[in-house]
Amino acid sequence: MRYLLRRRLLWMAACVGIAATLWAVVPTAQADGFNPDLLKTGMALPDVVQAFGQPIRMEWVNQKGTPVLFLFYPTEDRFSLLRPFGNDLVTLEDGRTYTPLGFVTEILAGWGKKFYDQARFPQP
- Please state the domain count of the chain: 2
Range of the domain at 12: 1-32
Question: Do 57 and 67 meet the contact criterion of CB atoms below 8 Å apart?
Answer: no
Cβ-defined contacts of 90-94 (< 8 Å, 24+):
90/116, 92/57
CATH of the domain at 116: 3.30.1450
Specify the pTM: 0.65
pLDDT in tens, 25-83: 433 333 345 777 788 889 999 999 988 888 999 999 888 888 999 999 988 766 544 44
Pair 106, 63 in one domain: yes
